[in-house]
């Protein structure tokens, strides 16, 4: 039972390159999230997927796209990387059964450190 896994752990890109960050969970959770963490700013939500087949923008979606491939997997794509996207990216999941109303705990992966030169 691995929980939430993310690949790669670390990546260096040149400006303009593209890449996809992968996230997978074996917790049978309905909802998945992508956050970025920058020094002094906490975590900010990029995109989330409330359930398989749906995605929605979070606080900072510009420059990113996402795909909820199936219930287990949620990927984040940078089409044309910029230095401003240098950050640590976290995937998270939560169960979110009907009627739980927001009290569900979010479980986080170990993160992907991205450096854009």
Partner 1 sequence: AQSVTQLGSHVSVSEGALVLLRCNYSSSVPPYLFWYVQYPNQGLQLLLKYTTGATLVKGINGFEAEFKKSETSFHLTKPSAHMSDAAEYFCAVRLSGSARQLTFGSGTQLTVLP
Beta bridge partners of 85: none
Q: Does 26 bind partner 1 (CB under 8 A)?
A: no
With 0-12 CB in 10 A as exposed, 13-18 as middle and 19+ as buried, what is 50?
middle
**Closest separation in Å from C-beta 82 to partner 1:** 23
Which of 23, 18, 20 is CA-nearest to residue 48?
Answer: 23
Judged by CB under 8 A, the chain residues 60 through 89 that form the site for partner 1 are: none
User: Which among 14-22, 33-41, 60-68, 69-77 is the span making contact with partner 1, rule CB under 8 A?
Assistant: 33-41
Coil vs helix vs strand at 89: strand
Which position among 34, 48, 64, 74 is part of the footprint of partner 1 (CB under 8 A)?
Answer: 48
Supply φ then ψ for residue 83, to 5 degrees: -55, -30
Q: Does 41 bind partner 1 (CB under 8 A)?
A: yes
Residue among 16 and 41 whose Cβ is closer to partner 1: 41
3-state DSSP percent of the chain in helix, strand and coil, to 5: 5, 50, 50
What is the binding site for partner 1 (CB under 8 A)? 4, 31, 33, 40-45, 48, 50, 56, 58-59, 90, 92, 94, 96, 101-103, 105-111
């Amino acid at each position: 039972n691995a929980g939430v896994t993310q690949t790669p752990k670390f990546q260096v890109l040149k400006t303009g390159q593209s890449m996809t960050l992968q996230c997978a969970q074996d917790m049978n959770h309905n909802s998945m999230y992508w956050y970025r963490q920058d020094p002094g700013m906490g975590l900010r939500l990029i995109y989330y997927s409330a359930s398989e087949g749906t995605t929605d923008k979070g606080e900072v979606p510009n420059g990113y796209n996402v795909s909820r491939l199936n219930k287990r997997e949620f990927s984040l794509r940078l089409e044309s990387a910029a230095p401003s996207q240098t950050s640590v990216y976290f995937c998270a999941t939560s169960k979110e059964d009907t009627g739980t109303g927001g009290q569900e705990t979010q479980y986080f992966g170990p993160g992907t450190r991205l450096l854009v030169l």
